[in-house]
Amino acid sequence: MIKFLLPRQLVARAPDEAGTHPYAAALSQAFERAYPLLKRAALWSVPISLFGLLPSIFVLQVYDRVISRSAISTLVALVAGIFFFLGLEFFLRARRSRDLRNAGATIDHQVSQALLGSMLNRPLRVLEERPTSTWLMLFRDVGAVRGTVTGGLMSAIFDLPMALFALIVIGIVAWPVLPVVVVFLGVMSFLAWWWADEVRAGRVEETARARDLDRIASEICRARETIKTLSQDEPVTQLWRSSYEDWLAESFRKNGELETARDATTVLLTVFSVLAVTSGAIAVTDQLMTVGSLMAVNMLAIKALSPVAGLATNWRLLARASEAAQRLEKVLAEPVDRPDGGMSLPRPKGRLSLKGVTFAFYEGGPAVFEDLDLDMGPGGLHVIVGRNGAGKTTLAKLLAGLYAPTLGTARLDEYDLAQFSRRELAQWISALSQEVYWFSGPIIDTLRRTARDHSDEQIVAACRLSGAHEFISRLPDGYQTNVGEGGTGLSVGERRKLALAQLFLHQPAVLILDEPSNDLDFASETALIAALLAVARHRTVIVVTHSLRMASAAQQIYHVRGDGHIEQGTAAAMVPRLFGVQRPAPVAQENKRVEANP
């Protein structure tokens, strides 16, 4: 953390990694942008420190000149002058505070933007490795870094010149007391270093335990419905209490140390004041200094020691910020997705293929697929089936370009998917995962964010196709209905229909749907199959499913066996063998029978 506060000439520049690591230097760049503001705040501190000495000079003059000579006119001039400079000091302090706030805001804005961009633009496989709570805590780390600039630590650092100026003035007006001041300044500096153990260790144990507690609390909040349903209150409470007690014990221990530091600082300053007055009184009786000098030196000594005392009680801010900065640097330096190529290619026909693809989740791990060759489309409804855990979702993510093959290539028409950014691929391949999340707010607002260039008529048409329009139209506020966080207020099936509408609005060449009919009733599944068959006339539709009816409607079925290989065939050939029944009647014939026998 300290390296970011050093002058730019003393800091080695981070290498330019604007490819797969565009955010690696975000933290140093943020401080570089804030550096002019920090520099100006430091410059304001010089006159502020000088003006801060004037009250002690005022006291010196009052005792030595005004009282002894009854010089009321001199007193009036001194009072007028001191009020003028105090007003000027207030103005400069306000300017310094504003510059520090602006510097903190600059750092917060740039690092937060970089962190959000890094999270949203990294490969899905990398993104899946960190839980939600970790990302939330990283955003809190940005606030910890900002607090170093806007908090009491920076003010204490900027007030250090006042200590030097105060020592100089003490040496001029009260030199007999100077050794006492220097000794106590050394004692306070040593204690400030001694209490900076967390800075030296580079770790704040209380923060680490608080992060564990936040992670557990976040998981409990996300799983609250499951906990309630399965009556897991007691074991979950025990888990939380154990983490909470660990954090509380460490917090009490460290806060006790901090309180000891604050109390010791307060007592030492009082002891110093007594010793300074005592030594000054002896010097006055020996006529080595005046009474005015004695009164002034007490104020000057406090000015000299206060910044060091401020450091002693604010080291923890620096320790937390240093640890936070290290975490942010590590995360921001991780690779992200390929950037946009900047070349507009013609709309693909929608043929997806895998050539010699091998995939494992980590290097040296077991292969989910080995030397896989596969072709789908263009056009038609293609269904992926297999037992749980066989790799159906993994195959869908490979086809969508969300996972990169360990070996081999995934292609869209003649193009290798690896050459495209996520944004470019999303124009042509739209994927719907098993877990559907819906943002809070009016339904229409979320739909419009998906399709900014689409009219309301096009949005309604997509909702009709997905089956969402039917339930939306029954809501009291229709498309203006407010839903809660994650789609609270809507059923899982309704959220899935809305997510399908979002996919249809993209009008991609390929649609990949993972278990789209899981939460749908019989009629809704029938409508969905009919809609997908209609879409499949012009686009390639790939569905991961366990549904016999969905599989029976497919043009091709791909059976993921779970041994790294896939077998494929027509629905007529595969359904009897995989499901143990004859192929059901097509959806169109089912609809006719329903209409004939209402």
Q: In the 3-class helix/strand/coil scheme, how is 225-240 assigned residue by residue?
A: HHHHHHCCHHHHHHHH
| pLDDT interval class at 3 (50, 70, 90) | low
Distances (CA, A) of 455 to 184, 251, 448, 465, 474: 74, 56, 9, 16, 21
Query: Which tens digit of pLDDT belongs to each residue from 339-382?
Result: 776 667 788 898 999 999 999 988 888 889 998 999 998 999 99
Ranking 92-96, 117-121, 264-268, 431-435 by mean pLDDT, the lowest is 264-268
Question: Where exactly does CATH 1.20.1560.10 map onto the chain?
Answer: 18-332
Give the pLDDT score at 210.
79
> What type of residue sits at position 106?
T
358 close to 377: Cβ distance less than 8 angstroms? no
Over residues 149-156, the mean pLDDT reads 79
Question: Where exactly does CATH 3.40.50.300 map onto the chain?
Answer: 352-596
Give the pLDDT score at 135.
86
Query: Which tens digit of pLDDT belongs to each residue from 559-572?
Result: 998 888 899 999 88
Name the β-bridge partners of 560: 566
Say how many residues make up the chain: 598
Give the pLDDT score at 4.
56
488 SS3 class: coil
40: its two tokens: 């100006």
Question: How far is 269 from 90, CA to CA, in rounded Å?
Answer: 25
Domain 352-596 indexed as CATH 3.40.50.360: no
Going by C-alpha positions, the residue among 362, 457, 348 that lies closest to residue 412 is: 348
566 SS3 class: strand
Over residues 386-408, the mean pLDDT reads 90
Q: Which residues neighbour 418 within 8 Å (Cβ) at sequence distance 6 or greater?
A: 338, 404, 409, 410
Name the DSSP letter for residue 147.
H
465 close to 476: Cβ distance less than 8 angstroms? no
Q: Which residues neighbour 425 within 8 Å (Cβ) at sequence distance 6 or greater?
A: 400, 401, 412, 417
Over residues 164-189, the mean pLDDT reads 86
Question: How far is 571 from 578, CA to CA, in rounded Å?
Answer: 10
184: its two tokens: 């106590």
Question: How far is 511 from 517, CA to CA, in rounded Å?
Answer: 15
| pLDDT above 60 (res 189) | yes
| pLDDT interval class at 13 (50, 70, 90) | very low
> What type of residue sits at position 93?
R
510 close to 350: Cβ distance less than 8 angstroms? yes
Share above pLDDT 70 across residues of the chain, in percent, rounded to a whole number: 91
| pLDDT interval class at 511 (50, 70, 90) | very high
Over residues 535-552, the mean pLDDT reads 90
Question: How far is 459 from 405, CA to CA, in rounded Å?
Answer: 35
> What type of residue sits at position 154?
M
Q: In which region does residue 562 sit, left (phi positive, over 0), alpha (psi from -120 to 50) or beta (all else)?
A: left
Helix ranges, 420-579 (H): 422-428, 443-450, 456-466, 468-474, 492-506, 522-535, 548-552, 571-579
Torsion sign over Cα 271, 273, 274, 276? positive
Element (H, E) at 558: strand 556-560
- Name the superfamily (CATH) of residues 18-332: ABC transporter type 1, transmembrane domain (1.20.1560.10)
Name the DSSP letter for residue 475.
S
Over residues 32-46, the mean pLDDT reads 90
